[in-house]
Chains A and B, each alone.
Chain A
């Protein structure tokens, strides 16, 4: 866990500098731990000591959340790697895995934000605002991680994200449109 606290501080407050450092020396183990901790945060925040739920199931819930968190992390990185390969910028999976994991760090602020749920409507609204700010922060850091990993500019990173998005919509219409036509002809 060497330099973990420096990286932690750096990603939150000096992301450009820290991502450059992490790019040179990616810490996959630290990334792995961050993804696991962030994934189990949501079920942990719903826990209750005297819950009627069996502790075994609570444990299972944590393992389940970690598993899906890790899977999403790997899928996201692989997916971007494939797109990057199309633009001949691939081969940086390890770096992106590390950077994208660190980009998730603002999610930890959901823990203090969740305390507002026990207050009145105003406090709940404040909690939701903090939650949204954490999400926005994390999204910007992820975009920044893509920029740093694949050496692309800010406008390009938007294209980078939007292409698969619109590609997906197009693919969906292509698929559905074809089958709808087929059904209309043969029904």
Chain B
């Protein structure tokens, strides 16, 4: 009789455990469903980590729409950062964004796309830029769209201007190698900037106009993003005047300290200060989580992180002038 009672007790205990286990799993599933429905739109559901947060989005290296780099494991490339910013616009669980920039600039159109996305983002949630080693030229262009810009005293920034470069290898090709280039074109400017012949005066004027146009776009972007900004946040900000902007927008670089004095940067400080202040701007608690937001979660993240550590980033090209990677293109780039 005793053995029967013990056996029945064990079996009943196990049976009850199964029932309680099923109920627990069911309750957890309901909670997880509710959370994900509240926090994200359907499309981005699978990419976001659960719960409200401040998104920390990083952008490293040259700003360009080079898809290949982000595919092999650089979610913090300009393309990856742009995607993350677009997600942050849609994601209701993101209460504010810290945009960490470490870039010498890049192509005009890509800088403008990122700038535009930050402008849209700041309409609905606070955005703070935290500058790392370098945030020059295009790096500053995108930063100017944020509500606040923070830089370390030694950060290199500024370099407001446009650059366009090309090579002239005519002598090398014809005299040393004996190779002659033949071009058939529909208009006289079709091969402007060709490396196989010297540039004509007319072409130089044409390209100068292109550079000037891009330069004015740069200035207007800083005026719209920074000088005309009119926000309600009670966090320290420094006013930049058009006069100062035009005086210093001659391509010169500035240290973070100089930039702060002139009004190009709002506060001296690193990621710590940026985190502290964005929590105030987003009206959340001091311990509110700040979550890296570039990388997709789960298996993809793991795969990306692995390839990131396995594939070396530096190569000989990284020691050459960056503009040579984008010949005949106006660039917001510090050389």
Identify the A interface with B (CB < 8 A). Answer: 5-6, 8-10, 12, 41, 44-51, 108-109, 111-112, 114-115, 118
Check A108 against B14 for contact (C-beta < 8 Å).
Answer: yes
Check B20 against A6 for contact (C-beta < 8 Å).
Answer: no
CA distance A112 to B18 in the complex (A): 7
Question: Could you write out 13 A-B pairs with CB less than 8 Å apart?
Answer: A5-B3, A5-B8, A6-B4, A8-B7, A9-B3, A9-B4, A10-B3, A45-B21, A49-B22, A111-B17, A112-B13, A114-B21, A115-B21
Q: Which residues of B contact A114 (CB under 8 A)?
A: 17, 21
B23-31, B76-84, B85-93, B314-322: which lies at the interface: B23-31
Closest CB in chain B relative to A178 CB, distance in Å: 35
B11 within 8 A of A: yes
Check A115 against B4 for contact (C-beta < 8 Å).
Answer: no
Number of residue pairs spanning A and B whose beta carbons lie under 8 angstroms apart: 58
Q: Which residues of A contact B179 (CB under 8 A)?
A: none
B6 within 8 A of A: yes
Top 5 A-B residue pairs of the complex, sorted by shortest distance between their CB atoms: A9-B3, A5-B7, A111-B17, A111-B14, A49-B26
Q: Which residues of B contact A45 (CB under 8 A)?
A: 18, 21
Check B24 against A112 for contact (C-beta < 8 Å).
Answer: no
Please pick, from B7, B8, B18, B28, the residue contacting A111 in the complex, using a CB distance under 8 A: B18
Check B18 against A49 for contact (C-beta < 8 Å).
Answer: no
B10 within 8 A of A: yes
Q: Which residues of A contact B30 (CB under 8 A)?
A: 50
Please pick, from B7, B18, B26, the residue contacting A48 in the complex, using a CB distance under 8 A: B26
Q: Which residues of B contact A108 (CB under 8 A)?
A: 10-11, 14
Q: Which residues of B contact A111 (CB under 8 A)?
A: 13-15, 17-18, 21
Query: Nearest residue in B to A8 (C-beta to C-beta)?
Result: B7
Check A48 against B22 for contact (C-beta < 8 Å).
Answer: yes
CA distance A51 to B29 in the complex (A): 8
CA distance A108 to B18 in the complex (A): 10
Check B3 against A6 for contact (C-beta < 8 Å).
Answer: yes
- Check A115/B20 contact, CB under 8 A, given A6-B4, A8-B7: yes
CA distance A46 to B26 in the complex (A): 10
CA distance A122 to B169 in the complex (A): 69
Query: Nearest residue in A to B25 (C-beta to C-beta)?
Result: A48
Check B17 against A47 for contact (C-beta < 8 Å).
Answer: no
